[in-house]
């Protein structure tokens, strides 16, 4: 079992991993800093979720909205298109530059979800598309979201559902597990990459959010080939690629063989793939 990423519900086999949240956050920040140029494959999938996240947070004209982990800025841009007064924020300066170049009318700033650089009770909505699973201290991130929200404001965060449902990541994670590839030492253990609905509800409730609810989105992502899926994930993710790249050649070959075989289950008559994608969107209201 590849403990830091492949686990479905949170625990590692044989007990909880020892987490160094600072080391984990440094690893994530450095990884995303290096990804700004190549992050692209996942964007069409994450953008399909954006409308649900914005609706869950009540984003609309005149609302003051903070997009945390804004990446290339697509969610912030969608919020601005709805007439919201939007600010984006990301821990990776290269992502901030990319977003600011793509969306010059929206302010993007550097900052961490665990220490949001805005004052208390200053925004109507906090939204985050696929960032919650990248923070070393999820409780601190939720406390920060609550701090910056005005009473009555909504927090909405999307996360990838379990790999057995979200085959976009699950195919490669299953292939890594099947090949028996150990996680390299240089990969710091972090909080689980995937959370059950119960875990998400519990985290939000313990952070003081009310009316906590989860929407589930399922759709199929069209991908031209197994090779495109392989390259896309290795170029767009941060914690999964080291599980492949840092293996010896024979293990990498076993992972690829398993990956191609598992991906073939989703092949369409024209040879392309239709990959099942599953996402949770969790929201809670600041009381
Ligand atoms: C998977 S990408 C998602 C980007 C964008 N929201 C989207 O949907 O395409 C995760 C983003 O979160 C940012 N990020 C990771 N950890 C963060 C943290 N602790 N605080 C703020 N941003 C963070 C990364 O730099 C990256 O841009």
- What pLDDT score was predicted for residue 5? 36
Q: What CATH number is associated with residue 138?
A: 3.40.50.150
The residue to mutate among 91, 133, 139, 279, having the most atoms of ligand 1 within 8 angstroms of its beta carbon, is 91
CA-90 nearest atom, ligand 1: 22
* Residue 13 reports pLDDT greater than 90: no
Nearest to 84 by CA among 109, 58, 102, 51: 58
Residue 284, classed as helix, strand or coil, is strand
Which pLDDT tens digit goes with each residue over 176-203? 999 999 888 888 999 988 999 999 999 9
Q: Is the pLDDT of residue 14 over 90?
A: no
What is the reported pLDDT for 217?
98
Query: Given this model, what pLDDT does residue 11 score?
Result: 37
Q: What is the largest CA-CA distance in the chain?
A: 56
Distance in Å, CA 33 to ligand 1 centroid: 10
Closest ligand 1 atom, CA of 236?
1
Q: Are 89 and 100 in contact (CB under 8 A)?
A: no
Check whether 90 has a pLDDT greater than 90: yes
Tally helices (H) and strands (E) across the chain.
Answer: 11, 7
Instruction: Give which of 286, 279, 285 is closest to 133, Cα–Cα.
Output: 279
List pLDDT tens digits, range 120-168.
Answer: 999 999 999 999 999 999 999 999 999 999 999 999 999 999 999 999 9
Q: What is the pLDDT of residue 66?
A: 98
Query: What is the C-alpha separation between 43 and 63, in angstroms, rounded?
Result: 25
SS3 105: coil
Instruction: Give this prediction's pTM.
Output: 0.93
Report, in this order, helix, strand and coil percent for the chain, each rounded to 5.
Answer: 40, 25, 35
The Cα–Cα gap between 138 and 158 comes to 13
Position 4 scores a pLDDT of 35
Is the pLDDT assigned to residue 2 strictly greater than 70?
A: no
Query: Is 74's pLDDT higher than 80?
Result: yes
Angle, alpha carbons 174-176-182 (nearest 5°) = 135
Q: Residues 6 or more apart from 19 whose CB is under 8 A from it?
A: 136, 188, 189, 190, 191
How do residues 31-55 score in pLDDT, each as one tens digit? Answer: 999 999 889 999 999 999 999 999 9
Output the six-digit token pair for 43. 């964007």
Minimal-distance CA residue to ligand 1 atom 26: 71
Our count of domains for the chain comes to: 1
Q: Which residues line ligand 1 (CB under 6 A)?
A: 25, 28, 32, 43, 46, 68-72, 74-75, 90-92, 95, 112-114, 129-131, 134-135
Q: Which helix (H) or strand (E) covers residue 43, if one does?
A: helix 43-56
For residue 12, the model assigns a pLDDT of 39
pLDDT at site 180: 93
Atom of ligand 1 nearest to the CA of 238: 1
Structure confidence at residue 16 (pLDDT): 65
pLDDT tens, residue by residue, 237-282: 999 999 999 999 999 999 999 999 999 999 999 999 999 999 999 9
Residues of the domain holding 124: 3-286
């Amino acid at each position: 079992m590849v403990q830091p990423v492949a686990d479905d519900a949170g625990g590692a086999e044989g007990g909880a991993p020892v987490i160094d949240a600072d080391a984990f956050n440094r690893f994530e920040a450095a990884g995303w800093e290096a990804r700004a140029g190549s992050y692209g494959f996942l964007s069409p999938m994450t953008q399909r979720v954006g409308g649900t996240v914005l609706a869950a947070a009540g984003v609309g004209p005149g609302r003051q909205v903070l997009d945390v982990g804004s990446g290339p800025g697509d969610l912030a841009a969608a919020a601005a298109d709805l007439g919201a007064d939007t600010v984006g924020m990301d821990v990776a300066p290269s992502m901030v530059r990319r977003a600011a170049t793509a969306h010059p009318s929206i302010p993007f700033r550097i900052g961490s979800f665990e220490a949001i650089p805005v004052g208390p009770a200053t925004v109507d909505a906090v939204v985050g598309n696929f960032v919650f699973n990248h923070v070393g201290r999820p409780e601190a991130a939720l406390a920060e979201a609550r701090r910056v929200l005005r009473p009555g404001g909504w927090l909405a965060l999307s996360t990838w559902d379990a790999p057995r449902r979200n085959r976009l990541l699950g195919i490669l994670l299953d292939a890594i597990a099947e090949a028996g590839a150990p996680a390299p030492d240089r990969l710091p253990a972090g909080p689980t990459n995937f959370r059950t609905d119960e875990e998400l509800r519990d985290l939000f409730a313990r952070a003081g959010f009310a009316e906590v609810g989860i929407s589930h989105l399922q759709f199929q992502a069209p991908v031209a080939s197994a090779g495109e899926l392989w390259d896309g994930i290795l170029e767009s993710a941060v914690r999964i690629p080291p599980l492949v790249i840092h293996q010896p050649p024979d293990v990498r070959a076993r992972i690829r063989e398993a990956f191609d075989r598992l991906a073939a289950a989703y092949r369409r008559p024209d040879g392309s793939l239709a990959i099942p994608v599953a996402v949770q969107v969790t929201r809670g209201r600041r009381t």
